[in-house]
Amino acid sequence: MKNYEFFLAVTLILASAGCNKSGFNGKGASDTANTGNLGGVDSAFSGPNAVTDSVTISRNVDVIIALDSSGSMDEERAAVSANLNKMILALQKGSLDPKVHLIAGSDNDEDEAPVAGPAFVFPADVDASKVALIPQKIGSHDALGHVGQTLSGAYAARYQTVKGTPMNPPLAFRPEAKLEVLVISDDNGLNGKGAANTMVGNTAQDFDPANKWKATVSGVIGIPTSVQAAGVCEIAAVGQEYITLAGQTGGTILDICSPDWTAMIDRFTKDVLKRSQSIQLSKEPLNPETMQITLGGKVLARDAWTYDATTRLVTLAASVTIAAGLELKVNYETKP
């Protein structure tokens, strides 16, 4: 495998309300306080199949970026090096409050030993208090496994500041924040294949089987329509595991062979903002059109929100005025 100066694990985000990081509270309809009109709905649902999911709107977003540092990434290295800082700055200069956890190392690093000094050179105007470096090699197939290790706290002792000095305590994950994971790789996730990849949790099925973290997973990866060019972008495999996870969690898939990272950065940052104004339902609604959506105690009109049946995600429209601390509630009847 060829040398790669750094790798990065992103991640990316989850909103949580109540006592867990699930992004919703599974309350019964008896807990619902708002019973205003919404289209043909005269009142909030009640009964054994009624559920109210809720989340407190927050500007806080925790992002993990995971960068494949294997030799196959050499062709993409120049574009990644030139644009990762731009992506971090774009996130920090937006209307959200992101904290970025970067898993970054080189292909020669041992898994057990942090590298000496900074493995990633940050821009001078980065908010250093909200960025952490995690020196850790990521191979061709195990980016998700390393994200899992980061979330579990296994890499807490490795955290470094942007200057490459120890960070103690490490940058914390906030219980009320959305969690975003961004994988950058020209390959696919795979469990336990070869001596260099013995960890599990690298596939869509095994990444978070208990759905504990409720992360939104995105990827800058090889896709079926990637236009490859020798010496510039040559993918090892389509990142199908990341595509699957993005579909399940409402994430964003971007083409690692795209010549225009400006458009990709704009798309990702806008999608992160959009997802911060969303809630993932705990169950499948019987009829999405009859759901009652309230924000800060006020019932929203039908054109003020959209519903994605694939990810069970309710997202507020851009026209809705949003403020941190407002409670977003969805009251609905589930399928029997």
User: Which CATH number is associated with domain 60-275?
Assistant: 3.40.50.410
Q: For the chain, how long is the longest CA-to-CA vector?
A: 64
Task: Quickly list DSSP for 281-321.
Answer: -SS-BS-GGG-EEEETTEEPPGGGEEEETTTTEEEE-TTS-
Per DSSP, the three-state class of 158 is: helix
pLDDT, tens digit, 9 for 90 and up, residues 115-126? 444 567 888 899
Distance in angstroms (rounded) separating the CA atoms of residues 138 and 11: 14
Span 160-206, pLDDT tens digits: 999 889 999 999 999 889 999 999 999 999 987 655 556 889 999 99
Strands 178-185 and 216-221 come out as parallel
Report if pTM > 0.85.
no
Domain boundaries, the chain: 29-58+279-333, 60-275
What is the Cα–Cα distance from 146 to 182, expressed in whole angstroms?
Answer: 12
pLDDT in tens, 44-87: 677 788 999 998 888 899 999 999 988 899 999 888 888 999 99
Sheet bearing 298-299, strands edge to edge: 50-56, 327-333, 292-295, 298-299
Report the candidate in 106, 79, 73, 25 with the shortest Cα–Cα distance to residue 327.
25
